[in-house]
Amino acid sequence: METVVIPQKEYRRIIDRQMRIEKDLRVVKTMLQHEISDGEIRPEVLRRWEKISRDLDRGKGHAFSSASDMRRWLKRL
């Protein structure tokens, strides 16, 4: 395994960004739970969401070049 050294300022920025993203995801998750019950979500959609959640937990994610690209990706979910 290779060790990568990054400046402390950059590391702090990455951690802060991750915390903001996790907070936003909690808000979205809470909103979805209030709006619909698990019975209303199709099983294949639920599996896809779980896969995305697992990927995010493992450090994988999606990068978007614009807000409109992000909206399109979210609509396809």
The per-residue pLDDT for range 31-71, each reduced to its tens digit, is 887 777 656 777 887 788 888 888 888 877 777 788 888 78
- Check: CB of residue 64 under 8 Å from CB of residue 70: yes
Global pTM value: 0.45
Residue burial 8-34, b: 16+ Cβ < 10 Å; e: rest: eeeeeeeeeeeeeeeeeeeeeeeeeee
The answer to whether the CB of 41 falls within 8 A of the CB of 47 is no
What percentage of the chain exceeds 90 in pLDDT? 19
Which token pair is 65?
Answer: 């070049």
pLDDT digits (tens, 9 = 90+) for 2-20: 888 899 999 999 999 999 9
